Structure 1
Amino acid sequence: MESRSVGRAHVGGPFQMTTHEGKPFTDKDLLGKWSLIYFGFTNCPDICPEELDKMGAAVTELDKIFGPIVQPIFISVDPARDTLPQMTRYVSDFHPRLIGLAGDYATTKATCKAYRVYFSTPPGTKPGDDYLVDHSIFFYFMDPDGKFVDAFGKSSTEMDVVERVKREVEEWNAEKKARLV
């Protein structure tokens, strides 16, 4: 595994947020599972739903191959409007295991910084206003140790995601098996 860390982007790190079910969730909760993490907002008219649909479809395909080893995560970049009830309604549209995470502005900003995610809310907006949040449009693929593996952008297809995750999981399993011999 040491060779896998050479040249790897430093993405991810400690965070503490709240799930759409009101439970605490930290970076430690990702350990032991592969994860796909998307940063967006529930009032997004098109890009976030498209990316979450793609991510959910890829996870469904991966479940058929490996079982439920990939955890899909949605992290809100709109703490003013993305309440837990709003997050609960939103994540239910995409994948049954999708976990929605939210936090206050400082928590959101720190989590985005750790993951190198850009987001910007128009100045002077209030929670009841109709506005768009400008943000990075990709989702991260993280390994069971919480380390960054890859990022999938808008141009990545569902099959691109499935093939990349499949290859990484198979290599990981082969290396793990080789260490036991």
Structure 2
Amino acid sequence: MFANRLAAAATIAAATVVFALSALMMWIYASEPRTGHFSAEFHLTDHLGRPADQGLFKGQPSLVYFGYTHCPVACPTTLYEMAGLFERLGDEGKELKGYFFTIDPERDNQEVVNGYVTAFTDRITGFTGEPEEMRKVVDGWRVHAEKVPDGSGGYSMDHTLSLFLVGADGRLKGVLPYGADQDEALDKIRTTLLKS
């Protein structure tokens, strides 16, 4: 009887350890920054009304953010921090581009995106387009973007908060998590995107 209970307890303990290790490995895998070519063909409009496609990622390094203009905290904070990074880099970052892709094209038309990005800096280009085209970009970059009803007929957007670091070759080189220390972010941009 005691041996059966001991065997059952050992089995449960072993299963718990296996489950915990599996969960830990999945968490580590999910939190690792991805690198590579995360793009898709798309046809959008920038905040000045100019056409844009996937070619904009080639030729110069860029900081890429996916957000929306009705975002209460994360998006304006990130764009404010991007503007600060551009200012701190000065001439060192003159080739670095900043891109803001709306994940809410239903509300974020060209005029709205123009007013939004230019309120932060002239170094960030905003993009919008038809919902199908925006979905191509979101899916191609494996960004989470989901409409969340607010109970009063409106909605917010649940979305990826990371800032993507994209090399001049158009490939993802790393990410900066939301709320990253700005000195560390500056160092990462320098070593990842601006190194000679």
Secondary structure at 2:106 match in 1: coil
Aligned to 2:157: 133
Deviations 1:69-99 (A, max 9, x none): 1100100000100011111110011121210
Aligned to 2:106: 80
Q: Which amino acid letter does the alignment assign opposite residue 32 of structure 1?
A: G
Q: Which amino acid letter does the alignment assign opposite residue 174 of structure 2?
A: D
Cα distance in 2 for residues equivalent to 1:132 and 1:169: 32
Number of residue equivalences: 162
Larger Cα Rg: Structure 1 or Structure 2? 2
Alignment counterpart, residue 97 of structure 1, candidates 112, 120, 123:
123
Cα distance in 2 for residues equivalent to 1:168 and 1:56: 18
Q: Which runs of 5+ in 2 are unaligned?
A: 1-33
Alignment counterpart, residue 16 of structure 1, candidates 28, 43, 52:
43
Aligned to 1:178: none
Q: Is the 2:163–2:178 Cα contact (8 Å) retained in structure 1?
A: no
Q: Deviation above 2 Å: which 4+ runs of structure 1? A: 7-16, 168-171
Percent identity of the aligned residues? Answer: 25
Pair 1:114 & 2:130 matched: no
Q: Is the 2:165–2:193 Cα contact (8 Å) retained in structure 1?
A: no
Deviations 1:129-152 (A, max 9, x none): 642111111110000010100111
Q: Which runs of 5+ in 1 are unaligned?
A: 1-6, 174-181
Q: TM-score, normalised by structure 2?
A: 0.76
Aligned to 1:55: 82
Secondary structure at 1:33 match in 2: coil
Q: TM-score, normalised by structure 1?
A: 0.81
Secondary structure at 1:80 match in 2: coil
Cα distance in 2 for residues equivalent to 1:105 and 1:67: 32
Structure with more of its chain in helix, by fraction: 2
Q: Is the 1:17–1:101 Cα contact (8 Å) retained in structure 2?
A: yes
Cα distance in 2 for residues equivalent to 1:23 and 1:154: 29
Aligned to 2:67: 40
Q: Which amino acid letter does the alignment assign opposite residue 172 of structure 2?
A: F
Secondary structure at 1:144 match in 2: coil
CA shift for structure 1 position 111: 0.4
Cα distance in 2 for residues equivalent to 1:56 and 1:161: 13
Q: Which amino acid letter does the alignment assign opposite residue 90 of structure 1?
A: Y
Pair 1:164 & 2:195 matched: no
